[in-house]
Structure 1
Amino acid sequence: MSLLRTSGNRTDENGVPYWRVMKSNGRRPRVGTNGIDLGIRGIYDKRNMLNDLTGREWIYFLNSVWVTAYPPVADTIGFDVRKVHPSPKPPQLMRDIIHFFTKKHEWILDPFAGVGGTLVGASLAEPQRYAVGIEIVQQYVDAYYEVTKCQGLKLQDMICGDARNVEVLTKRFGREFDLVLTDPPYYDMMNRRKPGQKKKLYGTDKSSPFSALKEDISNLPYNEFLDTLRDIIYSATKLLRRKRYLVVFCRDLQPTKDNPNLIHADIIRKLTEVPEITYRGM
């Protein structure tokens, strides 16, 4: 599920992560039989089947808390266009997740693509990855195309359609995917009034639902929402290569005295009803 992040800055003046400029105190890295010395990046192990990261990059990614930030106001990747969506994910964050869970030129599927944060992240990845996104709202699809054009990014495959039909919609690609990375609706959260930070960002506390479409799963009753999300994710993971990863973002509602509103816990329980899915942590 989603990673815990805090605001702050642990980079040097050139924006380089601190672990790339740490002094080694004179110690030379041990390359070993299967290692490749990539200089300041560290040692890459040729047995690494998941990604193209070195050992030190891998360890840094596995920190429970990342001391970093992706502030929307500093987002230069078309945020003014992407904010038509009530909850756009930072492409730089999606890029970092893609770097960890895929190798170069691998394929990512996002069945709830929104304004294309995952797709833009795949285009920002170095080396580049390929992505297919499905989004039910045409306005969000159009926003993705506009951002891609304005930023001069590689165009990924964005499909306007219902994620319930993910297997049919992706059939033309004739392939399995290496990662499913998605940020589904958090039930009816966007139908509620905005809290403080969102109010400052958007200049209003009015609710901003994803859409009024009856097919939009955020407009379903809660239990039906959970069942439908499970079924869509199950269909998406049937397109996933064996022993690869599903990464799902989730956010809880504000607790009340009657309900803790731990949506993430309900989603985890619901997704683990699928025999092929094993929960590995958040």
Structure 2
Amino acid sequence: MSSEHDPRNRLNDLDAREWTYALRSVISTAYPTRGPESFAHHLRRQHPSPKPPQLMAELIRFFTRQHGHVLDPFAGVGGTLIASSLEGRTAVGIDLSAEYATIYQAVCAELQIAPQTYVVGDARNLLELPEVRERPFDLILTDPPYAAMMARPKTGERRKRGRPNPTPFTTSAADLGNLPYHEFIGELCTILTAALQVLRPGGYLVIFAKDLQPTPEHHNMLHADLVIALRQVPGLEYRGYRIWHDQSQRLYPFGYPYAFVANQMHQFILIFRWRGDGKG
């Protein structure tokens, strides 16, 4: 395969070999949590579910070119923003939590990188923000809450091992992470549909999702329900998913010795392309 960038490639700066490697359906990682290669994990871990900047950087390299623009409506402690800085992109992040914004600033200071634009506010109002309206974005990359997963009390083995109980992202009533499952999906899709208005035609929407344990009432395959909901948006095409296998996750004997309960060691990375023509 050629190691040169094909001039027909307007999506990214990858050559054919790099492009092919980026198409693998499973990303299996064991990122360091100590030392310089952890990207200040000791600070970022104050968020219940911080995304590794290295992982976000891999996605940014594929879905944008150098000097591209990235939007994250659920910025948390800034995994997307840090990755954008590392990859020479500009980014805007939005989050309800002033605490997470402060942590992000501390991370940037420790890593000696210039902070990206971080807006403390409700993503429901993103189209009212001048920082969002001033330019079209090439990529929307975000890790939203997974309904009220983190706000639920921990049970069984996790409680025995001293895990916080529970670990909500914030206590705000406006936080999507405190909403019931189906209400969460509706609110998230409304936010993402609005965000598409500032995504350039041909740009990508990339969303992390983790399934909840099934119940008698519903399968709780969040990734599937999100795809079903977002496929209703005119002009938005579902392009598939990648799976992130996080090797750092600890195994627990869920259900022992009575019933099968899976240890979910992975998350789905859902990929959509915005046509922007409203034709679906």
Name which of 142, 150, 167 aligns with 1:182.
142
Q: 1:38 matched to which residue of 2?
A: none
Name which of 72, 92, 117 aligns with 1:110.
72
Name which of 60, 65, 70 aligns with 1:98.
60
CA distance in 2 between partners of 1:91 and 1:195 (Å): 30
CA distance in 1 between partners of 2:158 and 2:224 (Å): 24
- Deviations 1:133-183, CA, capped at 9 Å, x for gaps: 000011111110110011101210000000001111245651100000000
Q: Give, in angstroms, the shift of residue 65 of structure 1.
A: 2.0
Secondary structure of the corresponding residue to residue 281 of structure 1 = strand
Secondary structure of the corresponding residue to residue 240 of structure 2 = coil
Q: Give, in angstroms, the shift of residue 194 of structure 1.
A: 4.8
- Deviations 1:14-44, CA, capped at 9 Å, x for gaps: xxxxxxxxxxxxxxx65xxxxxxxxxxx222
Structure 1 segments unaligned to the other structure (5+ residues): 1-28, 31-41
Q: Which amino acid aligns with 1:61?
A: A
* Residue 198 (structure 2) pairs with residue 239 (structure 1): yes
* Residue 92 (structure 2) pairs with residue 154 (structure 1): no
Q: Which amino acid aligns with 1:224?
A: E
Give me the TM-score of the superposition, normalised by structure 2.
0.79
C-alpha contact 2:152 2:166 (8 A) present in aligned 1:
yes
Q: Give, in angstroms, the shift of residue 69 of structure 1.
A: 2.9
Q: Which moved more, 1:156-165 or 1:72-81?
A: 72-81
The structure-2 alpha-carbon separation of the partners of 1:152 and 1:271, relative to structure 1 and needing over 3 Å to count, comes to: same
C-alpha contact 2:189 2:230 (8 A) present in aligned 1:
yes
Q: 2:14 matched to which residue of 1?
A: 53
The structure-2 alpha-carbon separation of the partners of 1:198 and 1:248, relative to structure 1 and needing over 3 Å to count, comes to: farther
The structure-2 alpha-carbon separation of the partners of 1:150 and 1:169, relative to structure 1 and needing over 3 Å to count, comes to: same
Larger Rg: 1
Q: CA RMSD in A?
A: 2.3
Q: Give, in angstroms, the shift of residue 110 of structure 1.
A: 0.3
Q: 1:263 matched to which residue of 2?
A: 222
- Deviations 1:28-78, CA, capped at 9 Å, x for gaps: x65xxxxxxxxxxx2221111000001000000001123443254575211
CA distance in 2 between partners of 1:170 and 1:46 (Å): 34
The structure-2 alpha-carbon separation of the partners of 1:246 and 1:211, relative to structure 1 and needing over 3 Å to count, comes to: same
The structure-2 alpha-carbon separation of the partners of 1:230 and 1:170, relative to structure 1 and needing over 3 Å to count, comes to: farther
Name which of 100, 116, 123 aligns with 1:140.
100
The structure-2 alpha-carbon separation of the partners of 1:196 and 1:148, relative to structure 1 and needing over 3 Å to count, comes to: farther
Q: Which amino acid aligns with 1:230?
A: C
C-alpha contact 2:92 2:131 (8 A) present in aligned 1:
no
Q: Give, in angstroms, the shift of residue 124 of structure 1.
A: 1.2
* Superposition map of 1:172-211 within 5 A: 174-194=134-154, 204-211=163-170
Q: Which amino acid aligns with 2:218?
A: N
Identity of aligned residues (%): 47
Q: Which moved more, 1:238-247 or 1:211-220?
A: 211-220
**How many aligned residue pairs are there?**
240
The structure-2 alpha-carbon separation of the partners of 1:46 and 1:81, relative to structure 1 and needing over 3 Å to count, comes to: same
Name which of 227, 233, 249 aligns with 2:186.
227
Q: Give, in angstroms, the shift of residue 273 of structure 1.
A: 1.8
Secondary structure of the corresponding residue to residue 218 of structure 2 = coil
Q: 2:251 matched to which residue of 1?
A: none
Q: 1:37 matched to which residue of 2?
A: none
CA distance in 2 between partners of 1:129 and 1:197 (Å): 42
Q: 2:269 matched to which residue of 1?
A: none
Q: 2:89 matched to which residue of 1?
A: 129
Q: 1:84 matched to which residue of 2?
A: 46
Secondary structure of the corresponding residue to residue 55 of structure 2 = helix
Structure 2 segments unaligned to the other structure (5+ residues): 242-280
C-alpha contact 1:92 1:124 (8 A) present in aligned 2:
no
CA distance in 2 between partners of 1:227 and 1:60 (Å): 35
